[in-house]
Amino acid sequence: MTTLSTDDVRHIAKLCRLNLSEEQLEKFPTELSAILSFVDKLQEVDTSNVQPTPQSTGLTNVFRDDEVVSDGPTTTELLATSPLPIIDNQIQTPSAHG
Amino acid sequence: MGSMNSLTISQAHQKLKAKEISAVELTQSCIDRIESIDDSLNAVVYRNFERALEKAKKIDAVGTFDHPLTGIPYLAKDVYCEKDVPTTACSNILRNKDYIPPFESTTTSRLMDVGAISLGKVNTDEFTMGGSTETSCYGVTRNPWNRDCVAGGSSGGSAAAVAADECLFALGTDTGGSIRQPSAFCNCTGLRTTYGRNSRYGVMSMASSLDTIGCLTKTVEDTAIVLSAIAGKDPLDATTGDVPVPDYAAALTGTIQGKKIGMPKEYFMDGMSEEVKQSVLDATEVLKSLGAEIIDVSLPHTAYATPCYYILCPSEVSSNMARYDGIRFGHMPEEERGKRKEESLIEYYHLVRTEGFGDEVKRRIMIGTYALSAGYYDAYYRQAQKVRTLIKNDFDDVYQTVDAVISPVTPSAAFRVGAHEGDPVAMYLEDIFLDPQVMAGIPALSVPCGFTKDSMPLGLQIMGPQWGEETVLQIAHAYEQATEWHTKKPAL
């Protein structure tokens, strides 16, 4: 049985870049603890000699020719989806230094 | 009833080719249907009717209907990027600025190439996270068979739209059952393909190692037609397999004499609905009468698939959702407008994501972040990947002796709107029969197989080995031809 406290949840939310409302701080510890307890069932499986499966295709090292593909969207089109101001093909963000 | 929008793809194709109907008439009949009934269903979230009619006119002007999808109107789940068409994943983080993709997904591009006509976007749970469309920022999609019930999810808009004849087929995605469960709930045919069979390029990701592209249709033949058009390797998605795409419609011989079909005992658990159980047992009788042999099999790690899914999926979600930071796309927080310079970047991220994401997305990001954090990685993510191997091995073993495996799609029929509110684990358990195939990366299809006493549809799940879509479609088609469940329509 894994239990997350309100402080645990507050800490995880910070790592996720999320602010939580009072209501969420009230319900998320219970809900997330219930989910973690549910997935704890995996701990009962003996996997000592089992290799992990990260994906199911069996593909490894998929390469393509090292050529510029030019039929994708343009720089201007890609920048146009930003909600922030564009100056000289750059996105002006709030300061990273606070 | 009897109007053009209720046709199947193959029926409409015959009529288009014979010039009995035009692409404009067919498109208009779907538009009329959406305009007259969708307010009561809330399946369609973006209506692209003008462009659809323009396209139909051009197709009529050319007048050749050589491909079975030429002139066929469809709806796409709101995670398929179409160039210049608003695509929002039914999330406030993309809705507020109406994200308009500057590129086209491979799947919609391939459909465009053969002349299929996109009518717009259909509802989904936010970023496909849910089993009921209740987490959509546009509100829930109602089940055409009973509007107090959900249409399922996450491709609930797709399923309701197909069941209500608002289109001839719809695109969906299936990460943990999101095509098959709504198909069963709404009486559609829905195929989750082998992971890597269809390109994911241009479809907004939830869990990249599990997401698959597929369609919801009115018949198995229609599924075969759509799959043949969209399947195959794509240089823009490195996880697509270089495996030849057969003519799936040619596999529909109607004969399944001698096919060995496994019945896994783990899918018939205590507490499941008797009606669901009986519908699958009845289906085995039909399959036997068609010459198939039903064999009891065991998939011992079945019960671990859903816990496994709810580690791997949120972990990949926490990574995929990191891109929604309000920089490259998305939403500018209300209180940010006009005073941006005073804020720090970190505060900006917090504001964008806090306002933009709903509770289920937040829960998954948090679970994933926790599971991947230092000290927990081995116990959660790595352990889940190892259990995934065991689940995959179960299927590999069973496919040594059988051609396909059948089971129910869901433990019960469509539930009522709000039934699982405040209980995420109860919602997750809806996927209990749908996650094992996800872990193994194998194809699985839901085909109508009966109704409850309350007249709610039920689905039969047919699973095949990796790349085994032909076998799945062949068996499903033979079953469908021997039954009439798929012909039943909701009274609207």
Mean per-residue pLDDT, B40-63: 98
Any domain includes B110: yes
**Nearest CB to A15; choose among B97, B239, B369:** B369
Chain A, window 73-92: residues with a beta carbon less than 8 angstroms from a chain B beta carbon: 73-74, 77-78, 80-84, 91
Residue type present at position B212: T
Any domain includes B358: no
**Mean pLDDT of the residues in chain B:** 95
Give tens-digit pLDDT for A22-74: 999 999 999 999 999 999 999 999 999 999 999 999 899 998 889 888 788 99
**Nearest CB to B366; choose among A32, A38, A98:** A32
Range of the domain at B72: 4-262+400-487
Any domain includes B371: no
Is B58 catalytic? The answer is no
- Reply yes or no on whether the pLDDT at B340 is more than 70: no
Give tens-digit pLDDT for B204-228: 999 999 999 999 999 999 999 999 9
- Going by pLDDT thresholds of 50, 70 and 90, the confidence category of residue B334 is low
Chain B, window 168-197: residues with a beta carbon less than 8 angstroms from a chain A beta carbon: 195-196
Cβ contacts of A34-38, under 8 Å, gap ≥ 24: A34/B423, A34/B424, A34/B425, A35/B310, A35/B363, A35/B367, A35/B424, A35/B425, A35/B428, A36/A2, A36/A4, A36/B367, A36/B370, A37/A1, A37/A2, A38/B307, A38/B310, A38/B425, A38/B428
Mean per-residue pLDDT, B183-190: 98
Is B339 catalytic? The answer is no
Any domain includes B362: no
Mean per-residue pLDDT, B330-355: 76
Any domain includes B388: no
Contact at 8 Å (CB) between B79 and B87? yes
Which residue shows structure tokens 């209980």?
B423
pLDDT value of position A95: 87
Give tens-digit pLDDT for B54-109: 999 999 999 999 999 999 999 999 999 999 999 999 999 998 667 899 999 999 99
- Reply yes or no on whether the pLDDT at B164 is more than 70: yes
pTM tops 0.80: yes
Distance CA A23, CA A34 (A): 17
pLDDT value of position B342: 55
Read off the CATH number of the domain in which B452 is found: 3.90.1300.10
Split into its structural domains, chain B has a count of: 1
Any domain includes B122: yes
Any domain includes B453: yes
Give tens-digit pLDDT for B375-419: 899 999 999 999 999 999 999 999 999 999 999 999 999 999 999
Mean per-residue pLDDT, B133-142: 98
Give tens-digit pLDDT for B95-114: 866 789 999 999 999 999 99
Which residue shows structure tokens 């209990």?
B432
How much is the ipTM here?
Answer: 0.96
